[in-house]
Amino acid sequence: MSDSLFDKIGGEAAVNAAVDIFYRKVLADDRISRFFDGVDMEKQAAKQKGFLTMAFGGPNNYTGKDMREGHAHLVAKGLNDSHFDAVVENLGATLKELGVADELIGEVAAIAETTRNDVLGK
Amino acid sequence: MPLIEFDGNKYETKPDETVLDCLTRFDCPPPSSCRSGLCHTCMMRATEGTPPESSQQGLKETLQQQNYFLACSCIPTEDLTVALADSSAAPHFEATVLEKNLLTPVILQLRLSVPEGFSYIPGQFLNVFRDEHLTRSYSIASVPALEKVIELHVERIKDGKMSGWLFGELNVGDTLQLSEPLGECYYLSGNPEKNLMMVATGSGLAPLYGVLRDALNQGHQGDIYLYHGSENPEKIYLQDELEKLAKLHANLHYKPCISGDGADGNIKDRANEIALDTHKNLKDWRIYLCGHPLMVADTKRRAFLSGASLNDIFADPFEFSS
């Protein structure tokens, strides 16, 4: 029986290892850090966990509507494709740092990509 | 939009408006202070309707079950009938004022008796109730293992209703009404080798003075770095005591930081800047931050970026109200 993508990456343990690394990269990235300003850090980290779980193909209950509504105020502040790309880039870099294989990183990027239109309210 | 019924009147909330903001808009707010869900001053009870769980964060299970909630965090999802939390909601303790000492012209040390049943961990805070409309939070600076007293450091706030009263009218021998101890900004035993970085501004020193003495008393092995900052010397206090402690304990390092008033001020001389610049890699450190909310939020973020884990950062912002 073949493992799911989530299992191959390392399941919840991988998500926990990735959250701090990913969140730090995002806060330090000048292209997107302003979208994370002034937000309660613990709440943000919890949302990152949810996002990473979903991107790793794990169990998650986000609907397209959730993604749309959750990001609407950021779209109003100018969130666009370039920012989405930056986030996916940081996600890839995080996984590379954790030693995840390239083809699995590709699969994660593909899952993240399916949320683009909802996140950007297109 | 949901209706809030309070004191016999019905008020319609605006979309995404908290109960506190709504009642403030109609000129009948409950007491409040931090407006961030931390100090519990705005606690109310829903006698009809159910407040959302998010407005009950931090409240004891028994209070949650009885529909107590924090007005500043409550965006109602249905009509609610609400009332001020009465004194049976949270235990009140009565303490006697044993000593009042001015540590500087703007910092008052209050030493109180420990009421029966009041059990605290150094670094926690409590609420002082002057009457049902005036409540303020103060951090506890004392250490039960060292002495049987509750010590508070009160900073004089311009037009401060509570600090003015405590400074000017409260006498030794008077009693004070206190809440139970609250908060999670305290020493955790279990990792005695961890390095601790502590940054405080003004009276934010109070909880950290308790935490560091608690740590040393429990035999903490790792290095403890305390940076106490103020714009001017008026809020640098307990300097002699801290210097003595640092001489006695090789692992305690104390640095008072005076950054200068207003235009003469030098950002680089601020306690948090010096701390972050001195310790560039905070992986596996535990961080304690108390005092000015902007300093606390900014330093928390930067400590995280320097490698500290979020669960190892204990932030206690002092939201001042007058």
Residues 98-157 of B with CB under 8 A from A: none
The answer to whether B14 and B50 are in contact (CB under 8 A) is no
Model confidence pLDDT, tens digit, residues B70-122: 999 999 999 999 998 865 566 789 999 999 999 999 999 999 999 999 999 99
pLDDT of residue B139: 96
Give strand ranges (E) for B89-232. Answer: 93-104, 107-112, 125-131, 134-139, 150-155, 175-178, 196-201, 224-230
Average pLDDT over residues B227-231: 95
The answer to whether B42 and B30 are in contact (CB under 8 A) is yes
Nearest CA in chain A to B299: A41
Model confidence pLDDT, tens digit, residues B248-276: 999 999 999 999 877 677 888 999 999 99
Domains and CATH numbers, chain B: 3-84 (3.10.20.30), 93-178 (2.40.30.10), 196-317 (3.40.50.80)
pLDDT of residue B183: 86
User: Which of A20, A41, A42 lies closest to B301 in CB terms?
Assistant: A41
Q: Which of B42-46, B157-161, B181-185, B197-201 has the lowest mean pLDDT?
A: B181-185
| CB atoms closer than 10 angstroms to residue B285 | 21
> Which ranges of B237-305 does DSSP label H, i.e. alpha helix?
239-248, 271-278, 293-305
Per-residue pLDDT at B209 exceeds 80: yes
Q: Can you tell me the distance from the alpha carbon of B303 to that of B298, in angstroms, rounded to the nearest whole number?
A: 9
Does residue B262 sit in helix, strand or coil? helix
Residue type, position B160, single letter: G
Contact A41 B309 (CB under 8 A): no
pTM of the model: 0.83
| CB atoms closer than 10 angstroms to residue B223 | 16
Contact A41 B305 (CB under 8 A): no
Higher pLDDT, A28 or B35: A28
pLDDT of residue B173: 97
Per-residue pLDDT at B14 exceeds 60: yes
Per-residue pLDDT at A43 exceeds 60: yes
The answer to whether A100 and A13 are in contact (CB under 8 A) is no
- Interface check B281 vs A, CB under 8 A: no
Residue B84: DSSP 8-state: E
Per-residue pLDDT at A16 exceeds 90: no
User: Which of B297, B301, B309 lies closest to A27 in CB terms?
Assistant: B301
pLDDT of residue B156: 95
Q: Can you tell me the distance from the alpha carbon of B319 to that of B322, in angstroms, rounded to the nearest whole number?
A: 10
Number of alpha carbons in the 13 Å side-chain half-sphere of residue B151: 23
The answer to whether B102 and B183 are in contact (CB under 8 A) is no
Dihedral of alpha carbons B154, B158, B159, B164, sign: positive
Does residue B3 sit in helix, strand or coil? strand
The answer to whether B194 and B224 are in contact (CB under 8 A) is no
Q: Which of the residues B304, B309, B313 would you substitute to probe the A interface, choosing the one with the greatest number of A C-beta atoms within 10 Å?
A: B304
Residue B116: DSSP 8-state: T
- Interface check B64 vs A, CB under 8 A: no
Higher pLDDT, B29 or B196: B196
CA of B76, closest CA in chain A: separation in Å?
Answer: 19
pLDDT of residue B89: 62
Mean model confidence pLDDT for chain B: 92
pLDDT band at A47 (very low <50, low <70, confident <90, very high): confident
Model confidence pLDDT, tens digit, residues A91-118: 999 999 999 999 999 999 999 999 999 9
Main-chain phi, psi angles of B111, to 5 degrees = -115, 125
Sketch the domain layout of chain A as residue ranges: 5-119
CA B48 centroid distance within chain: 31
Q: Which residues contact residue B81 at a Cβ distance below 8 angstroms, ignoring those fewer than 6 apart?
A: B4, B5, B6, B46, B47, B48, B49
Model confidence pLDDT, tens digit, residues B171-184: 999 999 999 898 88
Residue type, position A57, single letter: G
Beta bridge partners of A4: none
pLDDT of residue B58: 81
Main-chain phi, psi angles of B257, to 5 degrees = -130, 115
Does residue B72 sit in helix, strand or coil? helix
Looking at domain A5-119, what is its CATH homologous superfamily?
Globins (1.10.490.10)
Per-residue pLDDT at A121 exceeds 90: yes
Tokens of B237: 């206090």
Nearest CA in chain A to B303: A24
pLDDT band at A2 (very low <50, low <70, confident <90, very high): low
What is the crossing angle of helices B293-305 and A41-55, to 10°?
30
